Structure 1
Amino acid sequence: MKDYIYITIGTLLFSLSITLFAMPNNLAEGGIVGLSLLLYFSIGLSPALVTFIFNALLLAIGFKLLPRHMVYKSIINVPLLSFFIYLTEGYGQTIEDTLLAAIFAGLLTGVGFGFIFRAGSSTGGTSIIARMLNHRFGWELTGTNFILDSIIVVFGVFIIGPINTMYTIIALYIGKKVTDYVLEGFDAKKAVTIISPKGQEISKLVLEQMTSSATIFDGYGGYTREQREVIYIVVRSHRLFSLKQLIQGVDPHAFVVVHNVKDVSGGTFFVTQHDHPLDPTTVPDFEQKTESKR
C-alpha cells in the first residue's frame, strides 16, 4: 500500500511541475513528457493525450524486458500521469522570471521522481528505458534518465528557442539532484582513511569525543617498507571538520583521504553509546597480536 501512495504523490508532483511551471513558461521536459510538450508548443496537441499514447507503447515493450512487479506499478502510473496532467493543465500561470519557474519545476520533478522510484515504478517514457538499462546492465538510474531526457531537450532549441532550452536543462539538473537526495537521504556521510603510526590514539579519541567508531588495519608502506596503522572511519559530513582537527592534534603528519559515501548501514559507526570503550570487533588489540607473534 505504501508503494502506491508514493506513486500517487510522486505522479501528482511531477504533473504539477509540468502544468504549473513548464507549460505556461515555455519550458520543455525530458523524455516522452518533453516530446509531448514540444508538440503542444508547436501544434497544440494535448500533453495528456500524447503522453498516454507514447507511454503505453513503451510499456508494451517493457512488459517483455522488465520484472513483472515494475511493469504492474507502471501500468498504474502511466494513466495516472496523463490523468493528473489533464486535470491540472489549465491552472498554470506565466512567471516573469523564467529561471524561477525552472528551479521550481526541477524541485517538484525531483521530489516526484524520488517518490516514484522509491516505489519501484517509473514515470513512463525514458524512465522505462532507464529502468530496462538499469535492470539489464546495472546503469545508474537517475544519471541514465538525465542523459536520455537531455537528448529530447536538445531538440527543443528549434521550438522553444535556445534560452528556454537552457532553462530546461537547469530544471533537469535540479531535478536529478533532488531525486538523488530523496532516494539516498539528506544525511550525507564521509568515509575517511587515515594512515598514521598513532592509529590507536586517534581511534580512542574518535570514540570518546565523537561517539563514533573506527576500524584499524595493518598497513605496509611500499616505499618506506615500514608498518603503519590504517584507520577507516565514517562520519556525517557536518562532523568532518571536527575529525580533521582531532587528527591534526594527534598527528599533524597523518595521511588523510576523504571519500564521498552514498549509503551506510549496520555496524557501530553511528551508535550513540558503546558498551565497551574499545570494542574488539572494530579496534583490534595490537598489543595482544604482537605478543602472539613473539
Structure 2
Amino acid sequence: MNSTKTFAITKTVAPILLGTAIYAFGLLYFIIPNQLMEGGVTGITILLNYAFQIPIFLTTLILNLPLFFLGWKILGGKQIAYTGVGIGALTFFLWLFERMIHSGWIVPFTTKNDFILASLYAGVTLGAGLGIVFRFGGTTGGVDIIARICGRNFGWSMGQVILSIDILIIGASLLYIPREKILYTLVAVFISSRVIDFIQEGAYAAKAFTIISDHAPEIADLITVEMDRGVTLIPAIGAYSKQAKHMVYCVVSRQEIRRLSQLVKSIDPRAFVIINDVHDVHGEGFRET
C-alpha cells in the first residue's frame, strides 16, 4: 500500500475514531448517569444495562454483528469496512470509558433536578459524534446502518430516519423508564438529529442569490468589481413577456448579504431577488476541498 493511499485511509478512519469516542463519552457521561434513554440498538443496550447491569460495550458488540452482515450485503465492501471500524471503535471506547469511570478517572455528570441541562448536552455530544462518523462514510452499527441505506436508496435525511426509529424504540421503553425521563430523552434525541444534519450538510453556511432583472449584466459587473465574487449569468425567457433576459446567480457569505442586496437595489430597485440557504460551500472564495 503506497503512502498516498495510506494517507487517504487515515484521513477517513481518524475522524471515525474521533466521532465514536465523542459518542461513547456522551453515552457514559450524560445518558447513563442520569438514567436517560437512547434510540436504536444503543437504546436496547442501555435497557439491558439498567435491568441486568450488563456492560454496554458487550451488548453493543453482540447486537451489532447481525446488522454488520446486513450492511455487508447492501452497502458493499468499502462502506462496510468503515462500518466495521465504527463498530469496533465504539465498542473499544465504551469499554475504555467504563473502565475509566469505574477507576474514578472520569466523574460522570449527574443531576437530580436539572435534567434539561443533561438532555441538551447529551444531544449535542451524541449528535456531534454521529455526525462526524456519518460525514466520513462510517456508521456505528445499529440503526445507523439502516439510516445510511435509506439515505442512499431513498434520499432520506439520515437524522430524520434515526429520529423516527429512535422515537419508536424510546416509546417502547416506557414500560421500563419513568415517563419524565422519556420526555427528557426526546429532547436529547431531537437535538442530536439536528446536530447530525448540521454536520452532514456542512458547518459553513452561505446564501445563494438568484436575481431576475432587465439589468442583469450591469448587476453582474458591479458584483464582480465591488465584491470580488464569482457571478454566473443564466439565460432565461420571461413567460409573460416572451422576452429573453438573464438571471444572475451568486453565492456569498452571510456577512455579505446586506451589501449584495444594496448593490442590486442601486442598479434595479425592482429586481426580483430570491435568497436560498447554501451548505458546505467549496471553491474559490470559500472553503477549499
Do residues 171 (structure 1) and 188 (structure 2) align?
yes
The equivalent position to 1:217 in structure 2, one of 234, 242, 261, is 234
Do residues 92 (structure 1) and 126 (structure 2) align?
no
Equivalent residue number for residue 52 of structure 1: 61
Tell me how far 1:54 sits from its aligned partner. 0.8
Q: Which runs of 5+ in 1 are unaligned?
A: 272-294
Equivalent residue number for residue 112 of structure 1: 129
Structure 1 length as normaliser, TM-score?
0.83
For 2:219, the aligned partner's letter is I
Tell me how far 1:241 sits from its aligned partner. 2.2
State the distance in 1 between where 2:86 and 2:285 align: 38
- Counterparts of 1:1-294 in structure 2, within 5 Å, are 1-89=10-98, 90=101, 91-95=107-111, 96-266=113-283
Change (3 A) 1:200 1:84: same
Secondary structure of the residue aligned to 1:168 is helix
Q: Is the 8 Å Cα contact of residues 41 and 143 (structure 2) preserved in structure 1?
A: yes
Q: How many residues align?
A: 270
Equivalent residue number for residue 6 of structure 2: none
Change (3 A) 1:13 1:143: same
Q: Is the 8 Å Cα contact of residues 105 and 171 (structure 1) preserved in structure 2?
A: yes
State the distance in 1 between where 2:182 and 2:36 align: 7
Secondary structure of the residue aligned to 2:125 is helix
**Alignment RMSD, CA only?**
2.3
Q: Is the 8 Å Cα contact of residues 174 and 182 (structure 2) preserved in structure 1?
A: yes
For 1:3, the aligned partner's letter is T
The farther-off stretch of 152-161 and 105-114 is: 152-161
Greater radius of gyration (CA): 1
Deviations 1:193-243 (A, max 9, x none): 111111122112211222112111232222233443311111122322222
Q: Is the 8 Å Cα contact of residues 213 and 247 (structure 2) preserved in structure 1?
A: yes
Tell me how far 1:112 sits from its aligned partner. 1.2
Secondary structure of the residue aligned to 1:24 is coil
Secondary structure of the residue aligned to 1:179 is helix
Change (3 A) 1:7 1:225: closer
Structure 2 length as normaliser, TM-score?
0.84
Identity of aligned residues (%): 33
The farther-off stretch of 16-25 and 98-107 is: 98-107
For 2:108, the aligned partner's letter is G
